[in-house]
Amino acid sequence: MGNLQHRSQTTLRVNGKPHTLTVDHRRVLLDLLREDLDLTGAKKGCDHGQCGACTVLVDGRRVNSCLLFAVALDGCEVTTVEGLSGDGGGEEPHPLQRAFLERDAFQCGYCTPGQICSAAGVLAEAAAGHPSHVTDPAAPSGEPVPLDREEIRERLSGNLCRCGAYPRIAEAVEDVIP
């Protein structure tokens, strides 16, 4: 697999559990999650950061895991769809997972894990007052951004669904807005 000088020991906290691995410098987070940690929720779609199927949370922010070198994330907290519930064993679904099921917000399901992780990031970003392209410029800076349908659609626009379940996805996100 390559020369040891092109590998580094890397520690990631994935879904609340620390993992220390010797990682090839060229290995992206998506491949590490799927192949080394057997966390196959995040999907390999385009492998170019354009579809969002690989979306996970790193230190609470949504990222395309196909674009990030794992060694660059040493010490980071990674949350995948498998760890989103926060109960450690995945017994109780996250409210977004439940809403996606209740709203039938998927068809083939390939994009669903990325959509759910992205939606979790959207909720956190809006609550923290991070504006989007469609946020009213007159809105007070740093205040939580109200999530209406337009905000949700804009913020999730980096996650593609080849089946076209977008209306149901937006409804599911609306269902969990605090």
Structurally, at CATH architecture level, domain 95-175 sits in: Orthogonal Bundle (1.10)
Outline which parts of the chain fall under CATH 3.10.20.30: 4-83
What CATH number should be reported for the domain whose range is 4-83? 3.10.20.30
CA distance 22 to 25: 9
pLDDT recorded at residue 88: 57
The pLDDT tens digits for 77-99 are 999 999 998 665 667 899 999 99
For residue 152, what pLDDT band results from cuts at 50, 70 and 90?
A: very high
What residues does CATH 1.10.150.120 cover in the chain? 95-175
pTM for this prediction = 0.93
d(CA 10, CA 132): 33
> What pLDDT is recorded for position 142?
87
Q: What is the C-alpha to C-alpha distance for residues 164 and 144, in angstroms, rounded to an integer?
A: 29
